[in-house]
């Protein structure tokens, strides 16, 4: 059974303040008696390390990177939302809350989303105090822009490098705590399993990626801030090393996995060019503020973009959604791109993209203004494609970008394993079935700076006087043995195909059947294909070298093994959810015009899956969602 979500009673706007008052506190002098493990040092992890350290907790931080600053939060381009209403355009905490619940297509928890909107304003203050160089107006005040699907300008940004600057801010605060001796940093150290005792999380087992040493670490609580699982698609905008291992191994140890099929396909990425392609590159969706999206009306069009007259261009978003036009939410933009490309209107050598055209914006505002806004993105595009977007339209196509699903957490961000927390993209809680642009940075930092540091005290307070379970305990030894034998198993298979090969093949299955549109036949096929490929993986994998050195093939093998199991669960979840909502589009559930059709009577719930062993499908538990303050409506962006 799913534990209580611990959402406080009372009006939604008062829940968080009331909850902060009601939960147990740890006395300042006692905080140093508690040890907390934080895995992952992106926005959610670094901000939690910094804040927990400042509060006085003993923190141990783990990252598989060579430095905490490499975490993939660094790559976020566009911005971070906050309900500051600095632009006087009618924004408010309530509006950000409302937009996020609606944008998430009514599959998130109202109370969590309201809290997120509330603390959003503090994040901007906090980051500014740290020296994050947000963009400013000539008067010296902070600049904002509107961002995919929002009708107010509430997005703060630092050129096209907002994630980088926010992460450096959090990383620097974390390094200050390293200097103070409150945070102990373990770099190039990958968490390979969770250790539980009497049902509670008591530590982790890690592998030192340079020496191969398997080690145990124990603490009073464990926080997973390990990001999303978009790399299950192989081609995604995630960094190469992003993976699901920390949350997946924890799922196997009792943490329920919520809404795994809720993945976000970002509408503006550079289309794939060939089989060797290792990742896809995102072009910030802020480009949609000025770029116009179109395809040739004629599917046999051969002329260059500039030679196609206006009346022969199909501005499909502007035509179908006059109110929002090119700024419809990500899921709508992505699905429509797929539709026109599937109809044969695609552009580029592989006919796998649509145009994002800046010609009108350049005529209207001048090239200099466009360069100011998007210069670095245009440069990046040119570097990758060899084409100059000032003179020819960009070609874009959707790619996997973010995963709304993740470990189920209660209002305190605790998973179904007591003492195990999940923050940032690793949890499921705030974005429902679709995340709005510029909300990921907000959530990661909200969790790490302003939510977890309070709520973790509620779990720790009654443990005063208890030492962490020693790593000599059989609970640790057992997991260490499992990790050692699993590592040895990869090396012992001695097959013919590399981890990379299997990852690519798995990604093709997932993209084909669990991508932008899903149906029963495809999903059932996906489960069969994944199982068959997984069997081949375990009998024909080739990992060279040994376990005592830096061995990236070995690291990759473990990550791919977990992606197989996750992929299967994604298919089961997508199969079970016979409705279309947000990023999850079931072809069986659409309106006569081909728009997504939600089924609130049947599916207004979170699907939280419990592990039953490798050969038995997971059991689904439901958390019913109540929409009290944001009434359920079918989204329409027409």
Partner 1 sequence: MSRTLNLELKIWRQDGPDADGRFEVYPALGIPDDASFLEMLDIVNEELIEEGRAPIEFPHDCREGICGTCGMMINGKAHGPEKGTAVCQLHMRKFNDGDAIVIEPWRARAFPVLRDLVVDRSPLDSIIEAGGYVTAPTGTAADANDTPIPKEVADSAMDAAACIGCGACVAACPNSAGQLFTAAKVWHLNSLPQGQAERYRRAENMVETMEQFFGSCTNHGECSEACPKEISQDFIAYLNRDYMKSKIKNRRLAGQS
What is the closest distance, in whole angstroms, from the C-beta atom of residue 551 to partner 1 in the complex? 8
What is the closest distance, in whole angstroms, from the C-beta atom of residue 179 to partner 1 in the complex? 5
Element (H, E) at 561: helix 552-576
288 is catalytic: no
Give alpha helix (H) positions in 351-473: 359-365, 367-385, 440-445, 452-460
Closer CB to partner 1, 17 or 478, in the complex: 17
- Could you give the CA distance from residue 408 to residue 571 in angstroms, rounded to a whole number? 18
Indicate the pairing of strand 257-258 with strand 605-610.
Answer: antiparallel
- Could you give the CA distance from residue 542 to residue 336 in angstroms, rounded to a whole number? 40
What is the closest distance, in whole angstroms, from the C-beta atom of residue 241 to partner 1 in the complex? 5
Q: Which of 244, 585, 594 is nearest to 422 (CA)?
A: 244
The CA radius of gyration of the chain, in Å to the nearest whole number, is 24
What is the closest distance, in whole angstroms, from the C-beta atom of residue 623 to partner 1 in the complex? 30
What is the closest distance, in whole angstroms, from the C-beta atom of residue 119 to partner 1 in the complex? 10
What is the closest distance, in whole angstroms, from the C-beta atom of residue 307 to partner 1 in the complex? 18
What is the closest distance, in whole angstroms, from the C-beta atom of residue 157 to partner 1 in the complex? 11
Q: Is 550 helix (H, G, I), strand (E, B) or coil?
A: coil
* Per-position DSSP letters for 210-267, written without gaps between them: TT--EEEEE-SEEEE-----GGGGSSSSS-TT--SHHHHHHHHTT--EE-TT-EEEEE
Q: Which of 575, 627, 244, 610 is nearest to 432 (CA)?
A: 627
Closer CB to partner 1, 158 or 293, in the complex: 158
Q: For 52-75, what is the HEC assignment? A: HHHHCCEEEEECCCCCHHHCHHHH
Is residue 225 within 8 A of residue 424, CB to CB? The reply is: yes
Query: In the structure encoding, which two tokens stand for residue 456, read together?
Result: 């973790």
Residues 6+ apart with CB under 8 A from 277: 235
Closer CB to partner 1, 70 or 330, in the complex: 70
Closer CB to partner 1, 535 or 544, in the complex: 544
> Which residues, listed in sequence order, are joined to residue 62 by a DSSP beta bridge?
39, 186
Evaluated on CA atoms 95, 97, 102, 103, the torsion sign reads: positive
Is residue 221 within 8 A of residue 36, CB to CB? The reply is: yes
- Percentages (nearest 5) of helix, strand, coil residues in the chain: 40, 15, 40
Evaluated on CA atoms 154, 158, 161, 165, the torsion sign reads: negative
Q: Which of 433, 66, 111, 61 is nearest to 224 (CA)?
A: 61
Residues 6+ apart with CB under 8 A from 421: 221, 222, 223, 224, 409, 412, 413, 414, 415, 452, 456
- Could you give the CA distance from residue 593 to residue 584 in angstroms, rounded to a whole number? 17
- Could you give the CA distance from residue 72 to residue 81 in angstroms, rounded to a whole number? 19
What is the closest distance, in whole angstroms, from the C-beta atom of residue 599 to partner 1 in the complex? 38
- Could you give the CA distance from residue 438 to residue 440 in angstroms, rounded to a whole number? 6
What is the closest distance, in whole angstroms, from the C-beta atom of residue 524 to partner 1 in the complex? 32
Residues 6+ apart with CB under 8 A from 240: 231, 278, 279
Closer CB to partner 1, 30 or 281, in the complex: 281
- Which of 115, 207, 249, 330 is the catalytic position? 330
Element (H, E) at 49: helix 43-55
What is the closest distance, in whole angstroms, from the C-beta atom of residue 508 to partner 1 in the complex? 16
Q: Which residues does the annotation mark as catalytic?
A: 330
């Amino acid at each position: 059974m799913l534990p209580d979500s611990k959402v406080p009673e009372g009006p939604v706007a008062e829940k968080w303040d009331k909850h902060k008052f009601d939960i147990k506190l740890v006395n300042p002098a006692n905080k140093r008696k508690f040890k907390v493990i934080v895995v992952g040092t992106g926005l959610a992890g670094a901000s939690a390390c910094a804040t927990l350290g400042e509060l006085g907790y003993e923190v141990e931080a783990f990252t598989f990177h060579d430095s905490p600053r490499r975490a993939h939060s660094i790559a976020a381009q566009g911005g971070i939302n906050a309900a500051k209403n600095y632009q006087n355009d009618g924004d408010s905490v309530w509006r950000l809350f409302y937009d996020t619940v609606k944008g998430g297509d009514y599959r998130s928890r109202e109370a969590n989303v309201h809290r997120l909107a509330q603390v959003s304003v503090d994040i901007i203050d906090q980051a500014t105090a740290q020296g994050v160089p947000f963009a400013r107006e000539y008067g010296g005040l902070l600049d904002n822009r509107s961002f995919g699907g929002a009708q107010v300008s509430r997005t703060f940004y630092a050129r096209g490098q907002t994630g980088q600057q926010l992460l450096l801010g959090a990383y620097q605060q974390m390094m200050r705590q390293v200097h103070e001796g409150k945070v102990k940093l373990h770099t190039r150290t990958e968490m390979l399993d969770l250790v539980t005792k009497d049902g509670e999380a008591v530590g982790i087992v890690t592998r030192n990626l340079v020496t191969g040493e398997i080690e145990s670490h124990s603490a009073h609580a464990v926080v997973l801030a390990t990001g999303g699982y978009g790399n299950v698609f192989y081609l995604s905008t995630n960094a190469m090393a992003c993976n699901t291992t920390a949350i997946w191994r924890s799922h196997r140890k009792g943490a329920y996995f919520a809404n795994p099929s809720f993945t976000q396909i970002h509408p503006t990425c550079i289309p794939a060019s060939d089989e060797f392609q290792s990742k896809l590159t995102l072009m910030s969706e802020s480009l949609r503020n000025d770029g116009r999206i179109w395809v040739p009306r004629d599917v046999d069009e051969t002329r260059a973009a500039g030679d196609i007259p206006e009346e022969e261009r199909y501005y499909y978003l502007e035509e179908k959604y006059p109110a929002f036009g090119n700024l419809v939410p990500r899921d709508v933009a992505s699905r429509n791109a797929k539709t026109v490309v599937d109809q044969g209107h695609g552009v580029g050598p592989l006919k796998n993209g649509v145009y994002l055209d800046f010609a009108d914006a350049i005529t209207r505002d001048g090239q200099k203004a466009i360069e100011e806004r998007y210069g670095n993105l245009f440069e990046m595009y040119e570097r990758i494609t060899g084409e100059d977007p000032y003179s020819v339209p960009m070609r874009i196509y959707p790619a996997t970008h973010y995963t709304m699903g993740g470990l189920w957490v209660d209002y305190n961000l605790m998973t179904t394993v007591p003492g195990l927390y999940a923050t940032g993209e690793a949890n499921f809680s705030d974005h429902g079935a679709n995340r709005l642009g510029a909300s990921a940075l907000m959530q990661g930092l909200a969790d790490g700076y302003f939510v977890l540091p309070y709520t973790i005290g509620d779990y720790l307070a009654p443990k005063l006087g208890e030492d962490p379970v020693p790593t000599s305990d059989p609970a640790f030894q057992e997991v260490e043995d499992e990790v050692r034998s699993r590592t040895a198993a990869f090396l012992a298979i001695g097959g013919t195909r590399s981890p990379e090969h299997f990852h690519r093949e798995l990604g093709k299955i997932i993209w084909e059947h669990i991508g932008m549109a899903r149906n029963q036949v495809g999903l059932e096929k996906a489960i069969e294909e994944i199982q068959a490929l997984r069997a081949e993986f375990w009998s024909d994998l080739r990992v060279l070298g040994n376990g005592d050195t830096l061995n990236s093939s070995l690291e990759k093998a473990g990550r791919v093994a977990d992606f197989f199991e996750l992929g299967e669960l994604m298919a089961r979840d997508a199969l079970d959810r016979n409705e279309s909502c947000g990023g999850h589009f079931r072809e069986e559930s659409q309106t006569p015009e081909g728009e997504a059709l939600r089924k609130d009577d049947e599916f207004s719930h979170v699907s939280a899956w419990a592990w039953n062993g490798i050969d038995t499908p997971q059991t689904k538990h439901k958390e019913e969602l109540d929409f009290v303050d944001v009434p359920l409506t079918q989204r329409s962006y027409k």
